[in-house]
Amino acid sequence: MVSTQPNQSPKALIVLRNVSKRYRRGLETIDVLSQVNLDIDAGEFVAFMGPSGSGKTTLLNLIGGLDVPDNGSIIIAGEEITGFSDSMLTAWRARHVGFVFQLYNLIPVLTAYQNVELPLLLTRLNKKSRKKHVETALSIVGLNDRMHHYPRQLSGGQEQRVAIARAIVSDPTFLLCDEPTGDLDRASANDILDLLQRLVSDYKKTVLMVTHDPMAAGKANAILHLDKGKLNSVSKGLATS
């Protein structure tokens, strides 16, 4: 279930209460997010849509612990992260968040295998266990045969699949995808969206995705619309608007 009203879901994985975020540009103060409330249950595939500057990416960054709100609280899996220090947030991200970016953000000098292995270097897993995890993640995204290729030797769609493998390899609590199909052709975009759907349906992952593309958003279980820093509506899902 996805809801933009407070206290809607007692079992919610992701809970935002009265979250606000402002930026200062010179003397001007811009309210990027204003009093946002949100409940997302585990296993949801949620798309955030809205015009540029509506606060989609800021919301994703706050949920992903890359930024901190000026007001309000963010509770993920029962843990309030709002008061975390930078180093606590860093450690928390390693455990709970898998990131997928529009430009893939793979390390160009590392192979697909080494890129996917990166999050596991932050765990206590030994080399053998890491290898097993990496191979599993790459097989889920269908790139086992490309594990020793460098990003420059892969197509855009393949690069994004490696990025998704990197995001899921440490079995995070949820995935945050910022315009994951924004740099891909339609066919590759569809492959990526199908893969994300499969992660939700087959592997019970929770996926939050920012997109401008209505077709991409259409693959999600719920679509949240942001405008001028406010969550205005939920479409397609089960929740209220």
Which residues here bind other proteins, judged by CB under 8 A?
57-58, 61, 64, 66-67, 86-87, 90-91, 93-95, 97, 99, 101-103, 105, 107-110, 114, 118-119, 121-122, 166, 178
CB of 86 to other proteins, least distance (A): 7
Q: Which is nearer to other proteins, 12 or 209 (CB)?
A: 209
CB of 238 to other proteins, least distance (A): 30
CB of 135 to other proteins, least distance (A): 18
Q: Which is nearer to other proteins, 21 or 146 (CB)?
A: 21
Q: How far is CA 46 from CA 11, 26, 224, in A?
A: 16, 34, 7
Contact (CB, 8 A) for 3 and 240 = yes
CB of 112 to other proteins, least distance (A): 14
Name the DSSP letter for residue 150.
Answer: -
Name the DSSP letter for residue 225.
Answer: E
The whole-angstrom separation of Cα 146 and Cα 158 is: 9
Q: Which is nearer to other proteins, 101 or 228 (CB)?
A: 101
Q: Which is nearer to other proteins, 39 or 179 (CB)?
A: 179
Q: Which is nearer to other proteins, 73 or 105 (CB)?
A: 105
Q: Which is nearer to other proteins, 41 or 178 (CB)?
A: 178
CB of 183 to other proteins, least distance (A): 10
195 phi and psi, to 5 degrees?
-65, -45
CB of 137 to other proteins, least distance (A): 14
DSSP 52-93: TTSSHHHHHHHHTTSS--SEEEEEETTEE-TT--HHHHHHHH
Q: Of 118, 188, 113, 103, whose CA–CA distance to 149 is shortest?
A: 113
Q: Of 64, 78, 60, 56, whose CA–CA distance to 11 is shortest?
A: 78
Count how many residues are written for the chain: 241
